[in-house]
Amino acid sequence: MSVRLAIFDCDGTLLDSQANIVAAMDACFSENGLPPPAANDTRRVVGLSLPQAMATLLPDADASDHDRLADHYKICFRRMRAESRLAHEPLYPGLIEALDRLQAAGWLFAVATGKSDKGLEHALDYHGMRHRFVSLQTADRHPSKPHPSMIHQALSDTGADILNTVMIGDTIFDVAMGVNAGVRALGVSWGYHAPEELLGEGAEMVADDYSALADYILSQ
């Protein structure tokens, strides 16, 4: 039987990590003498690799500044975690039940995220979920979304083909990555970009909750 693979974005799709991302970005900018971006501007770049996110927030800065700020963001985030100043990052409601249903139907799971390896592993370990995912792809080893590299590697890791693979995410970067890789792109409405944006980028559908997402995948 063909391998069926569901690839999930992390921030805004699996985890509600918005508060921590905004807090770390504010600290990063403030400590570098820059006015922090508006919270919505920070949310809009979630999913990109950090240098690309910084380039979007500060388009007039040099690439070296983007890289420096990206490194400092990681420092701020790690420090906030060590000082227990990060908010709880809950799983979105219905996720575990949806994974159970899909797994029972033979689906495998992967993650493709703008997080670092350590950040993703920490998040999945915290929720006791790392064992559910057979392929973990991060910005540490790939170009930024929407480049399809992360999906290509997940396909290679699992032996899945594009016809039996879905990319699930909450931003236009996730959807565009799926489209660029030639897989089906499915959106979720509870993250950082609006449903109409996801559909405009090429999402096949946008689910309003995990139960609806699982229903749709299993009906195909």
- How would you label 94-123 residue by residue, b for 16+ Cβ within 10 Å and e otherwise? bbeebbebbeeeebbbbbbbbbbeebbeeb
Q: Which helix (H) or strand (E) holds 185?
A: strand 184-188
Residues found in the chain: 220
| Residue 133: DSSP 8-state | -
Q: Where are the domains of the chain?
A: 4-16+89-219, 18-82
Q: 149, 135 in Cβ contact below 8 A?
A: no
Cβ–Cβ under 8 Å, residues 88 and 46: no
| Cα(94)–Cα(81) distance, integer angstroms | 26
- Output the CA–CA distances (angstroms, integers) from residue 22 to 81, 88, 143, in the order listed: 14, 13, 23
Task: Report yes or no on whether pTM surpasses 0.75.
Answer: yes
Q: Which residues contact 64 (CB under 8 A, 6 or more apart)?
A: none
Interatomic CA distance for residues 214 and 217, integer angstroms:
5
Query: Which residues are bridge partners to 127 per DSSP?
Result: none
CATH class entry, domain 18-82: mainly alpha
Per-position pLDDT tens, the chain of length 220: 689 999 999 999 999 999 999 999 999 999 999 999 999 999 999 999 999 999 999 999 999 999 999 999 999 999 998 998 888 999 999 999 999 999 999 999 999 999 999 999 999 999 999 999 999 999 999 999 999 999 999 999 999 999 999 999 999 999 999 999 999 999 999 999 999 999 999 999 999 999 999 999 999 8
Fold of 4-16+89-219: Rossmann fold (3.40.50)
Give the whole-angstrom CA distance, residue 152 versus residue 5.
12
pLDDT for 86 equals 87
- In angstroms, rounded to a whole number, what is the distance separating the alpha carbons of residues 169 and 5? 14
| Nearest to 206, CA basis, from 193, 113, 3 | 193
Cα within 13 Å of Cα(83), Cβ side: 9
Enter the DSSP assignment of 160: -
Q: Is 98 helix (H, G, I), strand (E, B) or coil?
A: helix
Dihedral over alpha carbons 200, 202, 204, 207 (to 10 degrees): -50
